[in-house]
A and B are shown apart, each in its own frame.
Chain A
């Protein structure tokens, strides 16, 4: 089987992209905590590991962007494609994903988590609008790059 798009290697790449992106944010936070607790050597270690994580997680994206967006399934590459993929993913988050998990959280009695997810749904909707207007600006050729 030579088609990467059909392979488990692509699934692995998508999973590891998510994992390394999480690792980046975790290290960033771990560094802040270590700094706060006075463990300066540990804080510096986590800050440096976070820098390395950027190299690594972007390396996964180097491969992924030739195939497509793991979140929206749309093509990536040129800015207009990237904006369309971003818009699709954020719209899904705003209209389906977060409202649904918010309902589940509320039903399961996790009130503050439910509220957090609802807040996210609102934020994501606003983000989707911003991406949409940026996309319209590029397709309408009215954007002044500068």
Chain B
């Protein structure tokens, strides 16, 4: 049993001194009229995000019963009529008449703002719902809602429409069952055509099952005939191992920390990996805070303090080695779950915790726990501190050598050297470093443009792993790769007949050596792109074909936004080509019979930016560019932000073909 649960059990057994969860513990503060008018203010949006927020509200309310030690199972059903029901086997919502309002408490909970049991400061110790707005919001924004309560040996029902009771709470007679079921149909007048996503709710339930060891969460999708059940005993450690499953841990066993103080319970699991980006999943009372906040700041301070004060660090670090947050966070996978009373967030959707006191407490408690762990496990401490120092030295050396070069115009020779170093490092996990590299559809979109004979001789320029040339299969006879990076040439030699060292600016072959030249996602990195295309033209025989793919903006509206994202990801980025620009450029260089095809591909951005050349600050700024994208951009450029903050972006690939005049 976790310390949190021990703490919660302790509070649950204090029933004698703490008032029970009944009509007396509900304080009514105000009415509900505003919710329907300003739905997005209460649930974040009137689209698919807000719709899911309604379901999550009910699930979190049911979870409060589990946290109070009163509920073992939660059942979520997505019905064929597009309604959703959430049931629990907890105590049942109180139904007695409220002493001041003279209405059943259950009805007040569904119709009055700030009427939650959690609002009066007792009954629930650590509560996840939206400060008592939850049930009322769900009800107000539902075309219809049915409440069923089984409590104290009786069964009750009440129906609502758009937040208005359709009849008084009815007692349906004796029942031995216990619990609450709420079934609601979101109002299409508010949420339009948005419907519930099974996968999205499953992702949330998995998370909750990890964070609340022992709860059984059941979900059924009556629309598609799917069902799942989640129950985990492994807690935050299990969630961390799940998060880190695609990354390479530097130490096998995660660092697991627990700490409790009067008003706060903290659980954390930490594991450093060979990746560059950090992945911190943070929760307050079981609710994900994907913008972090005070608790995450506290974790960072704790890490920095424990690491820099450790004897191993003092032994290994050079004098004046300054450690900053991004050094201790590089490659870190972490799950941080805290429980506090009356959490304060920056908005109703709880994405960021704002409680400076919590930052200090987390820093203090976790810092001490981590120092103790390091003292007891010096081998793991050595691995972690080694990684931190490596990150710090890489940052300092890139700063020293990087600073003067940033002032200079991108010189060809210089960028080639940077390119060689960068892609040498990335060759270690080249095909895992982003989705597009190996996407079969994108490769096929290139190969499909091929118009030359099967006896053709091909040159794959800046061939990388040779995957583009290789994907042409028997459409061509002999394939030669060209790359400046030794490690990449090694990879390509398994796919191509021959691989040579050389630069695209000065292709080491005479004129008219090839029938076809291919390349992909290269021209945006080349300061002298026309010169590169001219070289490709030179080595083609008359009538020969060039084929290359390139990511491009959808239109002028997303161009500046995309420029900033690509530039932050890849400092070598220097050409933000529009599709039309590349067609014109091909013509200007001397190609004819120019054609273009398009291919749309969903790219996982968190994976794409987890790379050597993207700094920690730039990763954060790239995420912000997505989170705060202008509405105009959202209309033309599809991307999605999942419930856990992960981003996927639909890239527009254009594949160009041109022929050397006969």
Residues on A lying within 8 angstroms of B by beta carbon are: 2-5, 48, 51-52, 54-56, 58-59, 62, 66-67, 78, 144-146
Contacts and interface: CB of A to CB of B under 8 A. Distances in A.
B409 interface: yes
Contact of A2 (B359, B363, B411): B411
B623 to A, nearest CB: 14
Interface string B617-642: 00000000100101111000000000
Nearest to B359: A146
Given A3-B407, A58-B564, A145-B300, 11 more contacts: A2-B408, A4-B407, A5-B407, A48-B631, A55-B560, A55-B625, A59-B563, A62-B564, A144-B360, A145-B301, A146-B360
Given A2-B409, A2-B411, A55-B561, A146 B630 contact: no
Given A3-B407, A48-B631, A144-B360, A55 B355 contact: no
B567 interface: yes
Nearest to B356: A146
Given A3-B408, A4-B409, A146-B360, A52 B298 contact: no
A78 B408 CA distance: 21
B630 A145 contact: no
B360 A51 contact: no
Interface in B543-573: 557, 560-561, 563-564, 567-568
A46 B561 CA distance: 18
B406 interface: yes
A144 B356 contact: yes
A146 B563 CA distance: 32
12 contacts: A2-B411, A48-B632, A54-B628, A55-B560, A55-B561, A58-B564, A59-B560, A62-B568, A66-B406, A144-B360, A145-B297, A145-B300
A146 B625 CA distance: 23
A142 to B, nearest CB: 12
Nearest to B568: A62
A8 to B, nearest CB: 13
Given A2-B411, A59-B564, A62-B568, A48 B359 contact: no
B294 interface: yes
A52 B628 CA distance: 11
A5 B407 CA distance: 7
A58 B568 CA distance: 12
Contact of B630 (A4, A54, A66): A54
Interface in B641-662: none
Nearest to B628: A54
B358 interface: yes
Given A4-B407, A4-B409, A52-B632, A146 B355 contact: yes
Contacts of A54: 628, 630
Contact-residue size bin, chain B (C-beta under 8 Å from the other chain): 20 to 34
Interface in B373-432: 406-409, 411
Contacts of A2: 408-409, 411
A67 B356 CA distance: 34
A55 B630 contact: yes
B560 A62 contact: no
A76 to B, nearest CB: 12
A3 B411 CA distance: 11
Contact of A4 (B357, B360, B408, B411): B408
A146 B358 contact: yes
B294 A51 contact: no
A67 B407 contact: yes
Nearest to B561: A55
A21 B95 CA distance: 57
Contacts of B560: 52, 55-56, 59
A146 B294 contact: yes
Contacts of B568: 62
A90 B70 CA distance: 58
Given A48-B630, A62-B568, A146 B298 contact: yes
Q: Which 8 A-B pairs have the closest CB atoms?
A: A146-B359, A51-B630, A146-B356, A146-B294, A2-B409, A146-B297, A145-B297, A66-B406
A12 B278 CA distance: 37
Contacts of A67: 406-407
B32 to A, nearest CB: 27
Contacts of B298: 146
B564 A144 contact: no
Contacts of B297: 145-146
Contacts of B300: 145
Nearest to B634: A51
A59 B324 CA distance: 25
A145 B355 CA distance: 11
Most buried by B among A54, A59, A67: A59
Contacts of B301: 144-145
Contacts of A58: 564
A3 B564 CA distance: 22
A144 B367 CA distance: 14
Nearest to A144: B360
Contact of B632 (A4, A51, A59): A51
Contacts of A55: 560-561, 564, 625, 630, 633
Nearest to B354: A146
A64 B355 CA distance: 34
Interface in B311-340: 324
A32 B625 CA distance: 25
A55 B356 CA distance: 30
Interface-central residue, A62, A67, A146, by most chain B CB under 10 Å: A146
A142 B324 CA distance: 15
Contacts of A48: 630-632
A12 to B, nearest CB: 14
Nearest to B563: A59
Contacts of B407: 3-5, 66-67
Contacts of A52: 557, 560, 630, 632-633
A67 B297 CA distance: 29
A86 to B, nearest CB: 18
A56 B625 CA distance: 11
Nearest to A52: B630
Contacts of A3: 407-408
Contact of A144 (B359, B411, B563): B359
Interface in B343-358: 355-358
Nearest to A67: B407
Contacts of B630: 48, 51-52, 54-55
Contacts of A145: 297, 300-301, 359
Nearest to A44: B631
Contacts of B359: 144-146
B500 to A, nearest CB: 31
A51 B563 CA distance: 16
Nearest to A1: B409
B417 to A, nearest CB: 16
Q: Which of A48, A56, A145 has the most CB of B within 10 A?
A: A145
A1 to B, nearest CB: 9
A3 B294 CA distance: 42
Q: Which of A55, A56, A58, A78 is packed against the most chain B CB atoms within 10 Å?
A: A55
A144 B355 CA distance: 11
A58 B363 CA distance: 33
